[in-house]
Amino acid sequence: MPIPSTEAIFIKIEKALMELAAREDPVFVMRIKSILLTNLDRGRLHYFIEDDILRVRLYVQKIVGNYRQFAPDLRKLQNDHCPQTWTALLKKLQRWIFNYLVRKGFQADAHTQMIAEELANEAAIQLLNAYFPFDAHFDAWAHVIVINTCRKYFRSKLKKSSIPDNWLVDIEPLHNMLRDDTFTEKERQAELHETIHKALAQLPDARREVIELTYLQGISIKEAAEHMGKSVGALYSLRFYALEDLREILGQTGNSNDDKR
């Protein structure tokens, strides 16, 4: 079945809106039309209907239903800046972010709660200014913004921009860099191997051990946690900060070698 053209979809939208206008207020219909045309322009409608032009009517129904459900609270949040709605949203975002951070290995403690509160504020500000397409549940849409906010935080904590490109060390390929016998630049590989081991020697004992166990020896986080007598969550957190330290050390080493050249 051929992919429906934008013109064909637009015709179906107009037909669905005519049916809606027969039973709804004109202002309501215009609001729905504005959402539909914006989503059409952004490609969201194409994604929903795939190659079935008959799904346009279902999409319009979804927009109408979600608009009725979510528009009042969204209006309170984005237009009226209602304190009660804002407070409820912040609490929800803080809970989501705290749970997400714990799943990613952060300790379930007051420090992580402070991080969650800070990130919740950032996510809430984005929600205030973002366009809600009304073709998804509000929580699902907000959750995407939450995850993106957390990932941005991770990138800022583990940013590599200050480290020269030839010294970049990614999390997952670390053990491959140390073991790769097929590496074509043997001398550079040997130099990198030595540099990483020197960097590891500068880490505190526990941080060095978690890197050696999970990357050099290749054992699982669960096995490493049992070996070190720690919880799996604690080990994820320990490894997170160990890698952060390792990148900083490697960055300093790389800059030092650049200066010598």
* Residue 119 CA from chain centroid, whole number: 12
165-260 under CATH 1.10.10.10, yes or no? yes
C-alpha to C-alpha distance for 182 and 177, rounded to whole angstroms? 10
C-alpha to C-alpha distance for 138 and 148, rounded to whole angstroms? 16
Nearest partner of 63 among 6, 132, 10, judged by Cα? 132
DSSP string, 158-191: T--TTS-GGG---STTHHHHHH-TT-S-HHHHHH
Higher pLDDT residue, 72 or 180? Answer: 72
Nearest partner of 32 among 61, 3, 73, 74, judged by Cα? 61
Q: What is the pLDDT of residue 1?
A: 57
Report pLDDT digits (tens) over 158-182.
554 333 333 333 333 344 444 444 4
Report pLDDT digits (tens) over 81-129.
788 888 888 899 999 999 998 888 788 888 888 889 889 988 988 888 8
Q: What is the pLDDT of residue 94?
A: 93
Q: Where do the domains of the chain lie?
A: 6-69, 83-157, 165-260
